[in-house]
Amino acid sequence: MPFDRYNRNIDYLRISLTDACNLRCVYCMPEQMTFRPRDELLSDGELRRLIGLFGAVGFRKIRFTGGEPTLRSSLVDLVRHATQTPGIEAVGLTTNGVLLDKLAAPLREAGLRSVNISLDTLDPEKFRRITRWGKLDAVLAGLDAAAQAGLRVKLNAVVSRGTNDREDVVALARYTLDQPWQVRFIEQMPFGNNAEFQKRSMVDEAELRDVLTAAYGPLELVNNGRLDGEARLYRIAGAPGCLGFISPVTKPFCADCNRLRLTADGVLRLCLLRDNEVDLRPLLRGGAGDDEITVAIRQAVFEKPWGHGLEQHLIPATRGMSEIGG
C-alpha cells in the first residue's frame, strides 16, 4: 500500500481526461480559455497503462474528471477499463452533467456506480450567468438519467457571495428531503490570476449552515462528524439525503488527504492547492519500463506535501481548477 512521508495511505487517484470544457463557470475559467493541443494530452493507451500501474501500486479508487470528462469520446471505455483493473475497487465521475442524459446508462453498464454532478443553482437564468452559456435543462435531464440508470448521485455546488448563497442553497438542499442524494456545498478556492475574485466571494461553511438551519431547522450531524471523502455530513430532520460541506479554506482536511491528481497532460499533481508536480509524460513517451514508472509513482506519493498554504497566502499559480480537475 502506498504511504507518504506523513504515513497517510494515498490510494485515490483523480484523473483529468481533458482540460477542455463545454461551459465556462465564472469561478473556474475565463471565457476566452485556450486548451491544450490534442497531442499534449495522454492517449487512451497511456491512460490505460497508468491506471494498471496505479492499481498495482495499491491505489483503490479512481475518479475521472476534467475539464469536462464527458467530452472525451472514450470515457465509457476508460470507465470499463478502470472498473476491471485489478486493485481498483471504486470508480467515480465528476461532471457538469450537460452530456449525461445519453451517457448515464452506458456508463452504468460499464461499471460506474456513482456520479458527482456540479450544479450551483436551480434558477435557469442564474445558471446561464454562472456557467456563461449553460442550459439548466440539459443538466436536469442528465441528473434524471443518472438516477434512472441507478447511479448514486452527489450534487456539488460551489457557493459564491451575492450569486447563489441564499435561496439557491436552500432550493438545492430541498432535494435531500425526497432523494437519497448528497447535496454538497464547496468553499470556493483561489487559483492563479482569478484568486482575488475567488477569495472575495467565498462563503464559508458556518454561514451556509446558518442559512440552511433558518430554512429547515437544526441540522443533525451524521457519522459523528467523520468525513465522507472530503465532506462533513449533516441531515435535515427526517430527510433521506444528506447535506455535505466541503470546506478546504476554513476547515482544511489535509491530515485525511488520500489523493493524487493526474492532469490531462500527464502530470501528477501532489496537492490540489500547491504547485508541486511530477511529470510522467516524458517517461511514458521516452520508453520507460513499468518498473521505472512505478518507482516514479511511489516517489511522488512519498513526496506529497503535508497540506496547502492558503493561511500563509500561498496561492497555486501554475494551473487553474479546470486544468487540475478538482
Q: Map residues 159-198 to x or -, x wherever contact with ligand SAM holds by CB under 6 A.
A: ---------------------------x-xx-x------x
134 is a contact residue toward ligand SAM (CB under 6 A): no
Rounded CA-CA distance 175/198 in Å is 27
As measured in angstroms, the least distance from the Cβ of 23 to ligand SAM is: 7
**Residue 95 interacts with ligand SAM (CB under 6 A): yes or no:** yes
What are the residues binding ligand SF4 (CB under 6 A)?
Answer: 21, 23-25, 28-29, 66-68, 96, 118, 322
Whether the CB-CB separation of 61 and 292 falls below 8 Å is answered with no
Residues linked to residue 261 through DSSP beta bridges, in sequence order: 14, 269
C-alpha cell at 243: 447535506
| Residue among 137, 240, 259 at smallest CA distance from 183 | 240
Which entry of ligand SF4, ligand SAM, none binds 75, CB below 5 to 8 A by partner kind?
none
Q: How far is residue 268's CA from residue 15's CA, in Å, rounded to a whole number?
A: 9
Name which of residues 198 to 237 contact ligand SAM (CB under 6 A): 198
CB nearer to ligand SF4: pick between 241 and 326: 326
Would you call 54 helix, strand, or coil by DSSP?
helix
Minimum CB distance to ligand SAM, residue 126 (Å):
14
Q: What angle do CA 114, 117, 121 make, to 5 degrees?
A: 150
- Selection from ligand SAM, ligand SF4, none that 24 binds (CB < 5 to 8 A by kind) is ligand SF4
Dihedral angle at the C-alpha atoms of 163, 167, 173, 178, nearest 10 degrees? -140
> Which positions touch ligand SAM (CB under 6 A)?
21, 27-28, 65-66, 68, 94-96, 118, 156, 158, 186, 188-189, 191, 198, 321-322, 325-326
